[in-house]
A and B are shown apart, each in its own frame.
Chain A
Amino acid sequence: MSWLLTIFAPIIGGLLYGIERKLKARMQSRKGPPIIQPFYDLFKLTDKRPMILHSYHAFMGVMHFVAAWVALSVLFFGGDLLVAIFFHLLSTSLLIVAGYSAKSTYSRIGSTRELIAISALEPVLILTAIAFYLHTGSFEVSKIINSDSTFGASFIGFLALLVVLPGLLKKSPFDAAEAHQEIVGGAEIEFSGIFYEAVYTAKWLDMLFVFTLVFLFGGSNFVLGAVLAVLAFFAVLLVDNSTARVRYSDMVRIVYSVAFTLAAANIILGVMA
């Protein structure tokens, strides 16, 4: 089961991305692309003439994808939650390194913003993992999904994760790092053809990773986990469609004052209880 999930992760992620684009279009009363549109994009990108800046830049793009896949596989194989989160962090930092290695203004601005963003977002993720440890007694995903649901016990932690979700998925209001209308994709701007494909696919894997984290709140109650993940998916889309982008400095302020505080309060309450 874990092998199957890991191998088909890009396909599941692609479908998720397709559903997201369709739903987003329906929310704006457009018809929207077909659900398998991401795979059309994938095949088309394979067919482009390869153009790279330098081999290091392209290699870092591919490693960004590989690290994202490893992070996901750690979750699916029931490994340590902290290891999964650190691989997720590693995957983001590889993209940042790639962005800095290019002699391009937008690429560097994007990388800097991304760096600032993860300095705000990752602490909340780690606090979420600690909350899981407090309520289930283990960082192991295989133990977490076999113990009782932690949703009731760490409801505040769930809210904190909900606040950082748009940032992790690079969606409005926390999409300053990608900012398509402003810095045209940030760190991923210089990738093209088959190497952009790696970055594009890593985006789907990131999405799957984040919603698997939400799913873990259900514990052994898989139905509750699935419901939470679907609700979070809708909430993120709705917020993405109805808010404007905030500045990266405001984003750090909001994430630290709301999400980090909530997550820390959740830990303190968990220790006291």
Chain B
Amino acid sequence: MIKEFLKKFRKKSPWLLHYNAGSCNGCDIEILACLAPKYDLERLGVKNTGNPKQSDIFLVTGPVTKRSRERLIELYSQIPEPKVVVACGSCTSTGGVFRGMYNVEDGIDRYIPVDVYVGGCAPHPEQIIDGVAKALGILEQKTKEIEYPKKLMGEITEFEGQTDKTKMAGKI
């Protein structure tokens, strides 16, 4: 019963972690516009924490450059469950205009499981808010089971109840 009671509050105070995986800053500016006076996501309890250990929603922009993928996985595995991932923008969802280029990976879903894709280059603030709202619905359904990133360079193993990250990034 207590569990059911606590579950209700997940969508009332979602804290955001915004990560730029090599984006052109277009999406980042739109995300900031969501937090600014006109749209004011804070009225829904959303707070931009910038700290993975205290976040619920992982908002990623950019087509994952090769340098940023280690950090992407590192940040993802530092967020305690329940957590949701929102891919914000065309690049993040599919690679966008950069798809197939030598220096990018096509979208974040090669590395981490994504819950909501928000299209557009750059997406409107309304679209981002809609995506976040959809993600909140998913967040409420999630369990506290550990979620793993997809395979990167080495095998993903478990060590003392936590994901062992030493082999994950491998050598780049």
Where the two chains meet, the residues of A that have a C-beta atom closer than 8 Å to any C-beta of B are 21, 25, 28-34, 37, 40-41, 43-51, 180-181, 184-185, 189-193, 196
Contact = CB atoms under 8 A, between A and B. Distances in A.
A44 B40 contact: no
Contacts of A190: 53
A41 B9 CA distance: 8
26 contacts: A25-B42, A25-B43, A28-B37, A29-B37, A30-B42, A31-B40, A32-B42, A33-B42, A33-B45, A34-B45, A40-B9, A40-B12, A40-B45, A44-B9, A44-B13, A44-B14, A47-B7, A50-B80, A51-B53, A184-B50, A189-B51, A189-B53, A190-B53, A191-B53, A192-B54, A196-B54
B43 A48 contact: no
A2 B136 CA distance: 41
A43 B45 CA distance: 13
Task: Among A25, A45, A47, A181, find the residue whose CB has the most chain B CB atoms closer than 10 A.
Answer: A47
A26 B155 CA distance: 50
Given A31-B40, A32-B42, A48 B13 contact: no
Interface in B52-79: 53-54, 56
B80 A192 contact: yes
Contacts of B56: 44, 48
Interface of B is mostly: loop
A194 to B, nearest CB: 10
B6 A32 contact: no
Contacts of B80: 48-51, 192-193
Interface of B: 3, 5-10, 12-15, 37, 40, 42-45, 49-51, 53-54, 56, 80-82, 144, 146, 162
Contacts of B6: 43-44, 46-47
B172 to A, nearest CB: 22
B146 A47 contact: no
A45 B9 CA distance: 9
Contacts of B37: 28-30
A45 B45 CA distance: 13
A41 B54 CA distance: 11
Contacts of A25: 40, 42-43
Contacts of B146: 49
A43 B74 CA distance: 26
A37 B14 CA distance: 11
A51 B55 CA distance: 13
A271 to B, nearest CB: 48
B53 A49 contact: no
A18 to B, nearest CB: 11
Nearest to A189: B51
A125 B153 CA distance: 55
Contacts of A51: 53, 80, 162
Closest 6 CB pairs of A and B: A192-B53, A43-B9, A40-B12, A40-B13, A47-B6, A31-B43
Nearest to B53: A192
Contacts of B43: 25, 30-33
A51 B144 CA distance: 12
Contact of A44 (B10, B49, B50, B51): B10
A192 to B, nearest CB: 4
Contact of A37 (B5, B45, B51): B45
A48 B81 contact: yes
Given A32-B42, A46-B6, A48-B80, 7 more contacts: A28-B37, A30-B42, A40-B9, A40-B45, A44-B56, A49-B82, A184-B50
Nearest to B8: A43
A99 to B, nearest CB: 14
